[in-house]
Structure 1
Amino acid sequence: MWFGTGGLSPGGGVSLYDGKSWITYTEKDGLAGNLVWSILQDREGVMWFGTSGGVSRYDGKSWITYTQKDGLANNAVNAILQDKEGVMWFGTRGGGVSRYDGKSWITYTQKDGLAGNWVEAVIQDKEGAMWFGTWGGGVSRYDGKSWITYTQKDGLVNNVVRSIIQDEEGGIWFGMDSDGVSRYDGKSWITYTQKDGLAHNEVKTIIQDKEGVMWFGTMGGVSRFDGESWITYTQKDGLAHSWVWSILQDKEGVMWFGTGSWYPDGGVSRYDGKSWITYTHKDGLASNGVLSILQDREDVMWFGTWGGGVSRFDGKSWITYTQKDGLAHNEVRTIIQDKEGVMWFGTMGGVSRFDGKNWQTYTQQDGLADNKVISMLQDKEGIIWFGTMGGVNRFDGKNWQTYTQEDGLAHNLVWPILQDRDGAIWFGTSSGGISLFDGRCFQTIDSKDGLADDAVHSLYMDKSGQVWAGTTGGVVRFMPKNKIQPPVTITQVLAGEKTYTQLSERLNFCAGVRRVAFGFHAPSFKTRPGRMKYFYQLVGRDTDPDSRDGFAHWQGPTNQDTVEYFNLKPEKYTFRVQAVDRDLNYSEIASLELILPPVWHQIVWIRGILAVIGLVFLAAFGFVTWRWTAHRRQVLAYQRLAVQELQDAHDMQMGLMPKTAPPIEGVEVAGRCLSANTVSGDFFDYLAGKRDNEIALVIADVTGKAMKGAMNAVMADGILHAKAEEMEQLSPALLMMKLNNVLKTRMEQEMNVTMVIAVIHRNRCVARNEAISEAISKNHVLERSEGSVSEGEHSVSEWETTLTLANAAHHAHPLLLRDGEIQTLKTGGLPLGMRAGIKYSEEQFKLQSGDVLILMTDGIIEAQNSETQLYSDSGRLERTISQFAEDLSAEALVNAIINDAINFGGDKTTRGDDMTVVVAKIQ
């Protein structure tokens, strides 16, 4: 056991007693202060001590002290709590409350909503909300978002709260400095169950007899309660069946019990206090399952049954009415007689009205919420209410009105209906508790308010005005209280970007304010947070002058405690709000007057000056508009010419591209150029050599955009063809030298062409084995014969394929795919058209069957994704080429490379360069 000590005398500290010996820790050992007010052991077993000098943490070995320097609100710590999340809370003397999560500190004070900065007690309730008892300020509840403060005005015994605890039922108890204890539960409910003497916890019907005794029909018999003792009657005593659905005391004081089920046993039992008489189907009762009983003004008994219709018994003879006679349905759940003497029957097929001669039935087609009618009530004004499986109906004889969960009803399946002395209508629901309705506002009472269970089967108001509720979990008695209006206040106003919390009766805003928001609050012990309802209006906007003091044009009810208005005109307004608590008690109306002044341009004499200035401006604007329109027409004409130029350039560029390659035996060739948005100068072409089986593949990138780029491409391609015609044997280096010399004289300065020319030549040959061996030993790594050598005998392919390459500064180097591996064929030279007399070199490679040659422009390798990564750096190009299958065509590889580059680089609209690919596949 740990004991916090200290006071005015010397010494103090904290003492530990293990049952045998004492150990005392003081400031000398590491305790923050010798005056100890609070002690807590956390979930890890660590001890925390709130002292006069801060908070000390002791893990059994070492001490850590936290003070104001670390973030604590005040060094004098009255209370310590560890919440469900493991966060530590410290209530201090004069500094408020501090929250510490092991890393950072947060302090809450009166400025944030705390009742007072001297905090005596801290707890966390079952719902996770924090409660803080203060010295002189009352108690505050904090749910992590908003604060609610309760004081003596709300029902607290005293504003000095020393201790707080929550009991097993969820009630919060507050220990005061004087005057006793307060408990927060509404103080309105008393519950009776089987433990108290009730026959069964599921109560179907309740009445009070002429002597004030309460009777409860349950699923286990009938219970009688005189306020002190209980008596239960079952089948052993003479009751027809243990399931009791309805009870009635007739004018002679005799008790009638409707019992039974869908099974044959059951019936109506009559009890005069001494003996029992049971009536069943054999005696003339429509069915042995009796759900409802009524005695009319002529003393005739009516019995609504389970599937047999309704029976009328005058003490001598029985008459039964069924669907054949005009009844809506043979299962009759409820019976009433209205003020005119007309009988009403609520059935599983609608409502039937019987005036003794004629039947009339109302269903959903007439306005009924649902055809399954469980309960009925005629209120003091003659209105008939119907509880159905689809909501509640109000019927004034002409018009139907339906209320459902969307309107505030607790649940759409409504069982009993009751009107209390104040005229409020009570609706017991299947799983939502009880709804109270005064014609304007719905409020709900459920198990969190003290109801035994949210399934309410019966409601009854006794002679004293107490309401008894029969639920699945027992009987609850609701004791009416004095009507105490809940206090409501306007807590803050937000106008524009400024917040007002110090509110008087009138607020004057700055000019130009168009948006105003209001916050309001009504604290209450009995009405749970979030259940208070509010009505509000902004006089001058929501109301007419004639309705300022009435309920017309009020907004609500709503659970929200804020409202915001937009686009307000400069005017005087009055905001009004009224709160409604759980018991339908209405608060006084809180109001606040607002004045929104006009901005300078809304003043009348300024508007006159502005009108004159406006006329002058309009005249000037008309002239400027005329000039601008003429200029705009000229600009549009230039734009149309530019668009046409781009289209012509695109057509010209695409016209360079060959449809197919000249045939060469054993070589498949394909190419494609995908132009960008801005026409560039990419092109590719095929040149047929004069030797057999010879072809030159050309791929180029010409500087310049639009028409200039296209013209340069056309010129370069034309010169290339002319020079190739002059050559008996195609040589890439020689062809480039001739093309360069011509382009230098024809192209503008700073313009140039990068190009790769790849000449493929195939030749039939027959070689001896020794020659093959010598060739293999001398050739480059790529110079491998197309044939294969076998052990003991050499065989040679009849084709020899040679690749001759020249490169004029084209940095998208050719690639060769051989046996699943990719090799880069690097050759170099300056761009064409920059300087005359340049000599270009060429290199030769031997190709073999299955080799694939790929030429491309920089539009492929320089494609970028959203992160500006280059396609050539991503590894995707190599993967696309490596996955090329031998049985696929060259065209398939061309399309695969272009499509993958597009997917990598994004949508076409972001591409600024052409994409060109040429592929040659050696078969």
Structure 2
Amino acid sequence: MINYNEEDGLNSSYTYRLKQDRNGFIWIGSDNGLFRFDGKEFKQYGKNEGLKNVDIISCEPLPNGDIFILPFLNDFAYLKNSRVINLNINDYVKNQFSGSIPKIISNGNKLYLYGNGNPENIFIYENGKVRKIPILLNYRGREFETIKFDFRTNHLYLNQPQKGKILAYNMMTGKEKEIKINPGAIICEKDDLFVFENQGRIDIYQLANAYTIRKIHTYHTKEDVFYGTIDKNNKLWLNIQNGGVLYFDQPLQKSGKKLAEPFKILDEYVINNVLTDQDDNVWFNSRNSGVFFITKTLFANYIRSSVKDNSEYIKAIARDDNHIILGYNKSAGAIIDKTGKIRDINLNKNSKDENKSVYINDNVSIFGLANKIVIYDLLQNRSTELSYNLKTIFPYTRDSVLFCTARSLVLYHLKTGKTTTLLNERVYTALPYTKENLFLGNFSDLYKLNIRTGKKTLFLKGYYFTDLKRLRNNLYVGATNLNGIIIFNDKGIIRKIEKKEGLIDDQIKKIEIENKNTFWASTNSGISRIEFTGTKVLINNFTQTDGLPSNAVAGCVIRNDTVFIGTSKGLGIFSIKKLLTQEKFIHKKVIINSVTIKDHEYYHLNENLTGYTHHPITFNLSFPDYASQGKISYKYKVEGLDNVWQVSSSPKIIFNSIPPGKYLFRVYGLGYNGKQSYISSDLAFEIKPKFWQTWWFKLLLAAIAIVMLSAIINSYLQKKRNKKLEQFYHEKKIAELELQAIKAQINPHFIYNCLNSIKFLLLNEDYEEADNYLDLFSDLIRKTLYYSEKTFMPIEEEATYLSLYLDMEKLRWDEAFDYEIHVSENVSKSWVIPSLLIQPFVENAIKHGISALRNRKGHIMISFDHQDSTLCITIEDNGTGIKNESLTRKNSFGLKLSRKRIKTFQQLFETDISLEIINLSEQKRQGTQVKLYITPYENQNTNLHHR
């Protein structure tokens, strides 16, 4: 029996009525709202969910999925898609139900509500609306107790217990018909069955036709019955005022058969209501102790067992041909005979010593307690005590047994009561395999012991055996504490059977032999039946879900086709054949309560379910397999996404970021012990793509990409064309600069002076000097024209050109100055520099510096040096020096031209050229110094190299 209370989520101790809906959910009315139980979780509907009144007496589940709620003060409401909807009809039904809840009967999605006494109207609820049919019966001077309204015949049945009759009233014709019986007070009714209580007598009536009611059963009781229920199997339950419930285990329609004595259940609790669910499990609503639950198999075992009223904590079990002996978790036990009669044996009322092992042989029973052994004579009701710290008892011969104790192995003779010590060591298990030889087990090893010689030999090392049994000739079964089951013969281990092969647990407590190929293994997790079929092993596991009173099994014994299983909650008695023919699957489906997509929860799952990739999807599940007692999980997969089955114990299955597509969600329920629902629950849904995931958007994106790529290519080509145009423009500009350079370097005044000098030499008939002058002049003009067409020229050629120019000027100025051109060793003469860049600065040195000298000879120094990766060209004269206003004057033709040429070169060739003009008089020297700095640069187009 399972008790659900506040610790399990049933946040109420006082519960009223129980109902079950079409999906199998259990609904519980309580003083703290309405609860829904799905086998794993309690869901509460109270004030926070919208109920105006949380004192809920009952509810009525409807075929359309709605739940009609009946509070104590008639604040009627109903649940639709898990949402509370209040009806607000209190004024409409005011004073109609005599301050109590109405009687209610259902017809599909239609409910009929009416008062318990002298009803004035019948209210019809359907799809959230209420209407009424007036009852035109004249109640004057008459007090009636309402029995029921039969919507099939439109008859209202009213009870007059004071006059001993029932009135049948036809709502359509107004006809009244008195049925003369003396029924007493109505207890409960269902369909055509009525149960009345009449002065200690329970009378059961059946409606034969609209106006004929006949008594079919009577039961006399001294119990004070205050309520009753006719369950789905038409069996009667009676609730007793002082505690407990009476159960009549036969259908009430069988009128020819006398009612058998009822079973009294839960007599320590006041039970308000009983529900037999769709699977024949039984639920009990208690007044102050929550809800009790018992599975179908366990209840059937309790009701139909030949052994009654045994729920003790069993620690040991054994049998002989006529008896079964039980040892309890205290100094007591019981003997069960073949008829099922229990004989309790109280060994010591004041002792809490538990039984370790028991044994029975005819009239001799042995209870092996923790600190002593009690030999109990069943005929003489006399006991004898032996002072041993017992571990186990093993049969040896017909007249003797072996005591395995904490200090020795002792042989006990049943007839004489004498003991013989065979070995002075701690022994846990023992089993004879020949007349003189035993297997002996201690805490860690198994030995062979020869009783005659006393020789002990190690046989199997590293196994703590808790039980040993002979399966057949030279084949033995050993139960171990941690290693499952060991199958061995006198030579060694043949095979092991462990949990990974299907055994319910690896910690085995006891072995019981069924036949030469089959045995049972008891554990704290249930019991396993192991059967050898050739070389294969067939294992069947049984737990509470199969009807065991508890999973903590101390041991079992077998008699014919019946297995008696001792557990911590009493003795379970089962037909082996029926156990083995139990369903391997659970005949239930997983309920998909709703699906939440993003923030919207869908309840109507026959609609098309759609979402988007970024929407999380949650499947809210239930698997109402109550026999599994909450040990429920789900096996699921999404076909189209992943074909691998997943298992989760959570009722919420969540998926995130599912790619667009159509999918099928499939889920099985898994009950306790791994049983699976017989069929999957399937739900199709679709994940739609966002607009950027659609084919048309991808096509548009591709078109945009093509357009953008085309634009980029066109832009690149346009830039390339513009660059060519710009290059053309710069080349044109260079040509212009070259012309300006020619004009600047070979100015008319210079040519005129040169020609006058030549004329003067010719007039003086100095033909030789005139000839030299003409040679220099022509050579200079030729080189100037040549280099003006070049963008760059080597330093070596620049030095040669400057030397030719300076020689020409020396002739012109009549040797008025000297000059030097020096190229440093750090400078390669093959390096190129902008052509004709230096000559204008040399011309300025002569024109503005040297020409003004009167009292000293002029000197011009030109040097090429390399400093810190920079080429430095210096033009220095010892002339009069340049004035500051000449430096800042914008219309200075020479400086303007030179700066313009430098800027043009920088723009065209990204060459860093800087100009520095220094007045040496500021340094207490004479003349002017011009410095040109050209940074290191390598350009594929110019071939300009500086290191």
Q: TM-score range by the shorter chain?
A: 0.3 to 0.5
TM-score, length-normalised on structure 1?
0.37
Q: Which has the larger radius of gyration?
A: 2
Structure with bigger strand share is: 2
Taking structure 2 as the reference length, the TM-score comes to: 0.36
